[in-house]
């Protein structure tokens, strides 16, 4: 192989083009004589490169447009190619630096996966921490927080001893409830106690006795309501006719205090 042919092959690899273009030009440079002239057919170039015919034809047209290749059509011979890469030199001086375009593409997708993994890990730790906070009602438990003003006002109307009885019922229910989070295992037993009282108050309001005289509640001087929710009925005032019949006399005149 002559020095010119060797330099031509190195220049074919160093051109600014696609991999297919470099491959086609290298095949032609390898087949060319000392002047870079060769006459392979399209089928031979396809066989030597392993590329499709369409890719070979497109690469030849591009190489010709860029000035790396020229050809003439000769009757009976076909196409005669002349290889003359526009960039001649050694691969070390002509070849572009090692391409690392794929590095960001392979590294960049890892960042979202890492972030998602951290979020998933944080969420898992949060759920695990919350699960540990669920617990059974401690023995001898008593409420540690005061009731809300609204609930306290409702409970204040209950009969004496009802709150203590409900506390016993609540602790008995908690001791026998299913051992599951949200059932027999709670995050906040004070809140559960408040919910229990609200439910029992609703039941009690539906079952409490009716007022003994509903008409009296509409008067200005309404009957007082006891802690049991039952109106305290007032004695009826005697009418004026009854007052006039007091004493042995039935006279229509006014009654004198201290006289018969």
Per-residue pLDDT of the chain (260 residues; tens, 9 = 90+): 677 778 888 888 889 889 999 999 999 988 888 888 999 999 999 999 999 999 999 999 999 999 999 999 888 888 999 998 875 444 444 445 555 555 555 555 566 555 555 555 666 666 666 667 899 999 888 898 888 888 888 888 999 888 999 999 999 999 999 988 888 899 899 999 999 999 999 999 888 776 534 433 333 333 333 333 333 444 445 555 554 554 544 444 544 444 44
Identify whether 260 is part of a domain: no
pTM score above 0.85: no
List Cα–Cα distances, 151 to 106, 167, 174, 211, 228, in angstroms. Answer: 62, 15, 21, 23, 17
Identify whether 252 is part of a domain: no
Identify whether 242 is part of a domain: no
Number of Cβ within a 10 Å radius of residue 10: 21
Identify whether 197 is part of a domain: yes
- Residue 147 and residue 168: Cα distance in Å, rounded? 17
Asked if 4 and 28 count as a contact pair (C-beta separation under 8 A), the reply is no
Backbone angles phi, psi at 79, to 5 degrees: -90, 130
Which of 31, 64, 89 is at the close of a domain? 89
Which of 35, 69, 89 is at the close of a domain? 89
What's the domain range around 20?
A: 3-89
**β-strand partners of 82:** 37, 70
Same domain, residue pair 140 and 211:
yes
Domain count, the chain: 2
Same domain, residue pair 84 and 171:
no
């Amino acid at each position: 192989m002559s020095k010119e042919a060797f330099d031509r092959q190195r220049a074919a690899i160093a051109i600014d083009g696609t991999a297919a273009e470099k491959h086609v030009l290298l095949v032609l440079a390898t087949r060319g004589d000392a002047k870079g002239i060769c006459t392979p057919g399209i089928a031979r170039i396809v066989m030597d490169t392993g590329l499709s015919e369409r890719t070979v034809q497109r690469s030849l047209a591009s190489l010709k447009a860029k000035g790396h290749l020229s050809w003439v059509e000769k009757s009976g011979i076909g196409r005669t190619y002349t290889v003359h890469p526009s960039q001649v030199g050694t691969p070390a001086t002509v070849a572009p630096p090692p391409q690392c375009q794929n590095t960001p593409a392979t590294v960049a997708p890892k960042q979202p996966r890492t972030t998602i993994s951290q979020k998933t890990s944080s969420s898992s730790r949060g759920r695990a921490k919350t699960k540990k906070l669920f617990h059974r009602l401690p023995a001898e438990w008593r409420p540690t927080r005061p009731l809300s003003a609204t609930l306290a006002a409702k409970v204040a109307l209950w009969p004496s001893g009802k709150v203590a009885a409900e506390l016993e019922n609540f602790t008995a229910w908690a001791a026998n409830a299913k051992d599951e989070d949200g059932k027999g295992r709670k995050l906040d037993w004070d809140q559960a106690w408040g919910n229990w009282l609200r439910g029992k108050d609703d039941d009690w309001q539906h079952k409490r006795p009716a007022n003994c005289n509903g008409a009296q509640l509409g008067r200005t001087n309404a009957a007082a309501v006891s802690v049991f929710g039952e109106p305290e009925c007032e004695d009826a005032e005697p009418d004026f006719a009854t007052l006039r019949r007091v004493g042995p006399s039935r006279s229509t005149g006014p009654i004198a205090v201290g006289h018969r």
